[in-house]
Structure 1
Amino acid sequence: MPRILHVSQPVDGGVARVVTELAAAQAAAGMDVHVACPAEGPLPRALGAAGRGVRGHPWAASRSPGPGLRTEVAELHRVIDAVRPTLVHAHSAKAGLAARLALRGRVPTVFQPHAWSFEAVGGSTALLARFWERRAARWTDRVVCVSEAEWITGRRAGIPGSYVVVPNGVDVDRFSPGAARQARDRLLPTAFARAPLVVCVGRLCRQKGQDVLLRAWTSVAARVPGARLVLVGDGPDAGRLRAGAEASVTFAGAARETADWYRAADVVVLPSRWEGMALAPLEAMACGRPVVVTDVNGARESLPSAGRAHGLVPPEDPAALARALVALLRDAELRDALGRRGRRHVLDHHDARRTADAIDVVYRELLGAAPTKYRECTTT
């Protein structure tokens, strides 16, 4: 039985959800699964939930590289020595940095960027990040990309190695269609029961582009009487975004369960500046809701090709974003059609069990172990 150690920092957002679902699926399939991550945040809380069968190991680490890196690497080295894994799977740039420095090729190592770090920065910092990824390739047995665009970006940046594309998946039983009215009754004031409602789920930060959405919202609110926008999430930009928001915008804060927010929405939007492959659009489509995303790497691939004309807008373009939202808010029949199409797309291509099977193939190739068969999706 393989002993897998996942290493993750961050402990929130989409990365945390991917690690949680993957680790739980692997544990349910009989693997000996461990996760090293900081002790505070949604990820360790989720892993501590009853019945998951995943053993957590506190690892004190900041989100970004800094002067404490040497100590963080040494502490992770101690965790690795205690767990004695047969394979290490590092998630996102910081965990990938620390894990590969601690391991230096001692055991098979999988690195999953969840969007390359050099896409989030510029200048000398981006050059340094590219240099590190090229050097770290010698300690990386497999790079797992969540989209074709992420794979292309890595190759164009000159990062060598063995790549595989495994698209993100979501729990299609947990994220499933439901009655919008009941969801709104649970989450929102009665006055919102019939309001045209747009929901954005994501960390409040520059990457997710909520500032662009708020600029677009002025036009949407003027053209769709009574329309409401709800931002679900928290993050470093929360204060600045709140300060410039209109009265028709609600900040709901972080939510452990987001399925009802998707069900309550008429349209779900995520105007990202960059992505690996965001979970929010996939979760929304699994709930049968139409989505609008920006035409950036990792986001366009989340949409079914037949729905991109209605759901894809240029990045950093509030006017185009407003037009797309207004068009969908005014056309209930189109929303329903896109929602059905999106649900089918997720069932066919982004079921989390498919993702777990694909990752199992990667592990099997590296370890020579027999494949694990995950439960097939029976949802229709």
Structure 2
Amino acid sequence: MHQSAAALRPWVLHLAQPVDGGVARVVLDLARAQLAAGLRVTVACPGGPLATGLRELGADVRDWRAARSPGPGLPGEVRRLVRLIEEVRPELVHAHSAKAGLAARLAVRGRIPTVFQPHAWSFEAVGGLTAALALRWERSGARWADRVVCVSEAERTTGLHAGVRAAYTVVPNGIDTTRFSPPPATPPAHAARSGDGEKSPPGSPGDENPVEAAAEAAGRPIVVCVGRLCRQKGQDVLLRAWEDVLGVLPGARLVLVGDGPDREPLRRRAHPSVRFAGAVADVVPWYRAADLVVLPSRWEGMALAPLEALGCGRPVVVTDVDGARESLPPALAARCLVPPEDPGALAGAVTGLLSDPALRAALGAQGRRHVLARHDVRHTAEQITAVYRELLGRAPAADDATARPVPPECRESIHP
């Protein structure tokens, strides 16, 4: 006798902190796809844009008060999470990013199936004693994760080389390829400059909009960088490179889309040709207005911004950090990857592409095809759900290239 469809639906509790940026977009997109597939989904997070977006989807959202980084409030955060888990009684917990992963594993301690998704390793984000403590925790905390889901093979390799012995599965990041798509008929930048492109929603918090910026550029090349304004995303490196770009293309314009702790220091050092759009409600019009999208990160798991830009048919230049090479088709990987923290190489790649419209168009089209084939969020959600079913004993282990068996040397550390 077959089990009913309801009996096959896992009830997952997603735990998320941070509540903005790429991690929040992953959680939101995953929840949307899982709800559409009939899964029962609850998300616990500390309010913010993520909670608002989830409620608009109709998801069950629970308030979990927690700071972005570990600190003296951690014991209270863990206690609140224990109570929340007792109330929700999920079949499985899926913790996103380092802070939520820390709290979830301390709260659950292996009592129910737990998935931890780092979205870039915590020990890469810090230095000195803090990095050593973060690495020590990740090595120890791995025993309380039934599965560590990495968004790239490179992220998994980084974990293994650092001694994080766990049961790993690699599931590449995905995006909504319907939302992140080229505009109809006219090229994105030309459409925006003629007033036919999409505008940012009224009242969005940014201090610029793509139509106005593109119109002001009046045919000059526009470079867009989408990301939180912080050390990880490397906008400071881009500003250093931008001086060299202007030496070759003095009419070029750069737009930084996003907000964060480095906003004012970056503003003080920026050339007048650099605009700060702030945090916007919809980044799609900015991708479509761009001639080139750049993300000069210092570290990543697999960044969303390049995938979103490629989905919109825009070529990208990215630094060769974890996940970057895997997220690009071969033609772009050969031309569009530069070493991290290398302003000269970054400037050379940017000026080379800005000077060759035909190449940009070809690379953008290849990028769109690649994202459709490899990085559709629906495929990502299906692979994540397969992990859930495996851990809940409802299906055999996935037999594909992204499902990684537990290495023999890791098995003894999966369970205490």
Give the TM-score normalised by structure 1. 0.95
Following superposition, the deviation at residue 130 of structure 1 comes to 1.2
Following superposition, the deviation at residue 42 of structure 1 comes to 1.8
Following superposition, the deviation at residue 36 of structure 1 comes to 0.4
- In structure 2, distance between residues paired with 1:331 and 1:311: 13
Counterpart for residue 108 of structure 1? 113
Following superposition, the deviation at residue 369 of structure 1 comes to 2.9
- In structure 2, distance between residues paired with 1:180 and 1:4: 41
1:38 aligned onto 2:28: no
1:128 aligned onto 2:133: yes
The 3-state SS of whatever aligns with 2:136 is helix
Counterpart for residue 318 of structure 1? 343
Counterpart for residue 101 of structure 2? 96
Q: Conserved in 2, the CA contact under 8 Å of 1:274 and 1:298?
A: no
Following superposition, the deviation at residue 370 of structure 1 comes to 5.9
Following superposition, the deviation at residue 221 of structure 1 comes to 1.5
Counterpart for residue 19 of structure 2? 11
The 3-state SS of whatever aligns with 2:116 is strand
Counterpart for residue 2 of structure 1? 10
1:280 aligned onto 2:288: no
The 3-state SS of whatever aligns with 2:363 is helix
- In structure 1, distance between residues paired with 2:83 and 2:220: 54
Map 1:357-368 → 2, pairs under 5 A: 357-368=382-393
The 3-state SS of whatever aligns with 1:80 is helix
The 3-state SS of whatever aligns with 1:35 is strand
Q: Conserved in 1, the CA contact under 8 Å of 2:331 and 2:363?
A: no
1:163 aligned onto 2:168: yes
Counterpart for residue 371 of structure 2? 346
Choose the corresponding residue for 1:47, options 33, 36, 54.
54
Q: Conserved in 1, the CA contact under 8 Å of 2:386 and 2:395?
A: no
Map 1:63-212 → 2, pairs under 5 A: 63-178=68-183, 179-184=188-193, 185=195, 186=199, 187-189=210-212, 190-212=215-237
Q: Conserved in 2, the CA contact under 8 Å of 1:293 and 1:300?
A: no
Aligned-residue RMSD, C-alpha: 1.2
Counterpart for residue 328 of structure 2? 303
Q: Deviations over 1:310-361 (max 9, x none)?
A: 2111111111111111111110000000001100110111110110011011
Q: Deviations over 1:258-296 (max 9, x none)?
A: 111111000000000000100000000010000000111
Report the identity percentage.
Answer: 67
Following superposition, the deviation at residue 47 of structure 1 comes to 0.7
Structure 2 counterpart of 1:126, one-letter code? A
- In structure 2, distance between residues paired with 1:191 and 1:154: 46
Counterpart for residue 22 of structure 1? 30
Q: Conserved in 1, the CA contact under 8 Å of 2:15 and 2:44?
A: yes
- In structure 2, distance between residues paired with 1:177 and 1:369: 39
- In structure 2, distance between residues paired with 1:108 and 1:253: 39
- In structure 2, distance between residues paired with 1:214 and 1:231: 10
Aligned residues: 368
- In structure 1, distance between residues paired with 2:261 and 2:216: 30
Q: Conserved in 2, the CA contact under 8 Å of 1:181 and 1:193?
A: no
Q: Conserved in 1, the CA contact under 8 Å of 2:10 and 2:389?
A: no
Q: Conserved in 2, the CA contact under 8 Å of 1:204 and 1:237?
A: yes
Structure 2 counterpart of 1:153, one-letter code? T
- In structure 1, distance between residues paired with 2:143 and 2:255: 45
Counterpart for residue 205 of structure 2? none
- In structure 2, distance between residues paired with 1:42 and 1:359: 23
The 3-state SS of whatever aligns with 2:332 is helix
- In structure 1, distance between residues paired with 2:165 and 2:339: 31
Following superposition, the deviation at residue 53 of structure 1 comes to 2.7
- In structure 1, distance between residues paired with 2:250 and 2:350: 13
The 3-state SS of whatever aligns with 1:231 is strand
Following superposition, the deviation at residue 157 of structure 1 comes to 1.2
- In structure 1, distance between residues paired with 2:151 and 2:305: 14
User: Higher mean Cα deviation, 143-152 or 177-186?
Assistant: 177-186
Gaps of 5+ in 2: 1-8, 200-209, 397-416
- In structure 2, distance between residues paired with 1:193 and 1:279: 29
Q: Conserved in 2, the CA contact under 8 Å of 1:183 and 1:261?
A: no
Following superposition, the deviation at residue 22 of structure 1 comes to 0.4
Following superposition, the deviation at residue 24 of structure 1 comes to 1.2
Q: Conserved in 2, the CA contact under 8 Å of 1:207 and 1:272?
A: yes
Structure 1 counterpart of 2:347, one-letter code? A
